[in-house]
Each structure stands twice: as structure tokens, then as C-alpha cells.
Structure 1
Amino acid sequence: MNEIPIFAKTYDLLRWLIPATLKYPREHRFALALRTQQAAFEFNELIVLARKTRDKRELLVRADAHLEQLRLYLRLGHDLQLLSLRQSEYVRREVGAVGALLGEWMKRVGVRSSTE
């Protein structure tokens, strides 16, 4: 079982996301930027814990919820014109790739998605 790609992709996402959200205007920096960063950091913390835990299912479900929150905050950032179209498309692809890796991991440990 090899979950390593999800950690590398998540690191790359965080490395891009932090400076991008710090450029949000002051009136959005402390609400939307902070929540966006927190969702990404909490996602990362949950997958690290899942890697170190025998029963990964609950942690992966929680990580999936944080990834969904991150998607919402990024879409909001684009809709409020805090992220350019190019930035939004890039980060959407990256989050999608992380989500695909998470989905594969969840299937391997027997987590059914809420849409099944």
C-alpha cells in the first residue's frame, strides 16, 4: 500500500496555496484566506494521522470533508475575484488530483463514499 503520492501532492498544494491566499485583500485575508488555509492544513493533518493509525476510515472521511470545504473556499475566492481564472483552474486541478488519490486510498481501506 503506497499513499506517498498524496503527501507529495498535498505538500505542493500547500506550498502554492499559502502565498496565493496571503495576497488576498485585507478584508478577505482574515476570513476567507485563513479558512482556506485551515481546511488545507487540517486535511494534511488528518491524512498524516491516517497513515499512522490502524483504523484509517474515520480519519479519511474527515479528511474528505475538509477537502470539500477547501473546494468551496477556493470557488468562493474565484467568484469574489481573489483568484484569477488561471489560478483557479490550476488549483482546481491540483485539488482534484489530491481528491482522486484520497478516493483511491479510501477504496483500499473500505470506505464507501457518501454518493454510493
Structure 2
Amino acid sequence: MEELPIIQKTYDLIKWYVPILNRLPKDHKFILGDRMIKELYELLEGLIIVRYAKQKSIQLESLNSQLDIIRYQTRLLLDFQLIPIHRYEYAGKAINEIGMELGGWIKQQNKRPVIKN
């Protein structure tokens, strides 16, 4: 089965982001860094799970909220001066690309007729 681009983009974001988050100063690594890593992994897991689900809409909406949390956490990194602007811009671009794909997936699912058992 071919990999969905959103899953690959999320995977690539994790590969890029986790080493950066693991190098945060101790007072931020164990609060913000660990939370962000957990959110990123849960986002990837959720995308893989929803790919095979029959009813995707509710799960996709939840993943959209998770992505928004990651977006705000990334902004906190910048505001706390824990990452340089170029890394913030890169992360923001990657998160926005994932968000656009997720939004498209949600729209596609909302157009489908609801199957009742």
C-alpha cells in the first residue's frame, strides 16, 4: 500500500524535530520538549490508525486539534528563545503543510455519505 503524503510529512517532521527538542535546556526539555515529542508521536500514530478506520471524520478532527497544539507549542519555543527563527519558520512551514493535507482529508470525508449500521 502506498504511503499517504501526510503520514510521510509527519514522519519527516518527527525525524527533524525530536533531536532539536532533546537538546532543549533541562528546565524546558522535561516539560515542553517531552510534551511536544509525545504529541508528535501521537499525531503520527493517529494518522496511521485513521487511515484504516471506516469512520474517519471524528478522528481527523481530533488530530487537527492535536496539530494545533503542536503549532502553539512551537510558537512557545520561539517566544522562550529556545529555537532560532529559521528553525521556527521551517517547523511552521512543515506543520502548515500537514495541516493543509489534514484539512483536505477532513473536507473529503465530510463530503462522503454517512454509512449507518
TM-score (norm 2): 0.90
Q: Is the 8 A contact 1:46 1:63 kept in 2?
A: yes
**Displacement of 1:93:** 0.2
Q: Which runs of 5+ in 2 are unaligned?
A: 112-117
**Displacement of 1:53:** 0.5
Q: Deviation per CA, 1:63-115, whole angstroms, max 9, x where unpaired?
A: 0011000001100011001111010000000000000010111111008xxxx
CA RMSD of aligned residues (A): 1.4
Opposite residue 61 of structure 2, the aligned amino acid is V
Aligned to 2:115: none
Opposite residue 37 of structure 1, the aligned amino acid is I
Counterparts of residues 1-116 of structure 1 (less than 5 Å): 4-110=4-110
Opposite residue 57 of structure 1, the aligned amino acid is S
**Displacement of 1:49:** 1.1
SS, match of residue 110 in structure 1: helix
Identity, in percent, stands at: 31
Partner Cα separation in structure 2 for residue 77 and residue 71 of structure 1: 10
Partner Cα separation in structure 2 for residue 78 and residue 23 of structure 1: 15
TM-score (norm 1): 0.90
Aligned to 1:114: none
Q: Is the 8 A contact 1:6 1:98 kept in 2?
A: yes
Q: Is the 8 A contact 1:78 1:84 kept in 2?
A: yes
Q: How many residues align?
A: 110
Larger Rg: 2
